[in-house]
Copies of this chain bind each other. A is one copy, B any other.
Amino acid sequence: MKIIRSLTAMAAWSGGLVRKDVKIGLVPTMGALHEGHRALIRAARLRCDALVVSIFVNPAQFGPQEDLAKYPRPISQDRALCRKEGVDICFEPTVEAMYPKGFQTMVTLPAIAHRWEGAVRPHHFSGVATVVTKLFGIVRPRIALFGQKDFQQSALIRQLVKDLNLGVEIVVNPTVRETDGLAMSSRNVYLSPDDRIRAVTLYKGLQAGAEAIRRGITDAETVRSAMVQVVKKEPALTIDYLSVCDPYTLEPLPAVRSRVVLLGAVRIGSVRLIDNLLTTPPRRSS
């Protein structure tokens, strides 16, 4: 495995392969790799000829009050995981190279970006869309993989690729969970041992919503109430949102007619957790 820090070197490596018709795959990450990332890397490894994992804690997607400075950066462990999983290039650009003096271009997706996570984190998705466009430009992948855990992010990136004709196939990999069901996240390390146990209640809430849909409930407000009831039982959790949405536009739906995504975000202590479930209603017998 090669570690590349320079943008020019990365672009040269990619350019050479593109001109030889080699299929490049990219897994963009902020490091602090966990089993969710490992699953992404393994899925990518099967689908491309040359695999790049980028590790870049992107300042543009953090708000001023957020955890940029303390975001975990265990680079040696991350590289070891990549090496073990057969990654070809670990791309670790610097902030100075990605955002040099005079940098000003921003990529925005107003409709998707201002809801849910975007309502709480105003510039977050513009930062995500911009860095992903940059990474695609430098690495020139034919395929890129993202985790379903950040569902809104993956919906945004699908729309971005479609709108800007970036020509990259986007694959969204199912969320990897701890044995109790908590979605894997680099931010789970911030949880105290007690909060770690309580945190799974978010997932249990989403499951209650999915169960209601499977039982045939179509009224979205009833589904939402089922989720809220479960999450509220854990007083350590504060609900940011629990919603029943269209999986493409992320608009809240009044009724469950076809596949929906159940989106949830809670606060527990100083930690904010998100999770989601894709759910399809049962076929109606007519």
Q: Hey, which bits of chain A sit against chain B, CB under 8 A?
A: 7, 11, 15, 18-21, 102-112, 129-130, 133-134, 137-138, 140, 159-160, 163-167, 248-249
Contact = CB atoms under 8 A, between A and B. Distances in A.
21 contacts: A7-B165, A11-B167, A15-B167, A19-B19, A20-B21, A102-B159, A102-B248, A102-B249, A104-B110, A105-B107, A105-B108, A105-B109, A105-B164, A106-B109, A106-B110, A107-B107, A107-B164, A133-B133, A137-B166, A137-B167, A138-B165
A20 B19 CA distance: 6
Oligomer: number of copies: 2
Nearest to A134: B165
Contact of A164 (B19, B133, B159): B133
Contacts of A104: 109-112, 159, 163
Contacts of A102: 111, 159, 248-249
A142 to B, nearest CB: 9
Q: Which A-B residue pairs are the 7 nearest by beta carbons?
A: A105-B163, A137-B165, A19-B21, A104-B111, A138-B165, A134-B165, A104-B109
A97 to B, nearest CB: 10
Contacts of A166: 137
Contacts of A134: 163-165
A91 to B, nearest CB: 12
Contact of A108 (B108, B112, B138, B160): B108
B105 A129 contact: yes
Nearest to A97: B165
B160 A105 contact: yes
A11 B169 CA distance: 14
Contacts of A160: 105
A248 B165 CA distance: 28
Nearest to A168: B137
A165 B132 CA distance: 11
Q: Which has the most chain B C-beta neighbours within 10 Å: A20, A133, A138? A: A133
Nearest to A11: B167
Contact of A18 (B18, B107, B110, B133): B18
Nearest to A103: B163
Contacts of A167: 11, 15, 137-138, 140
Contacts of A103: 163
Contacts of A165: 7, 11, 134, 137-138
Contacts of A249: 102
A104 B165 CA distance: 13
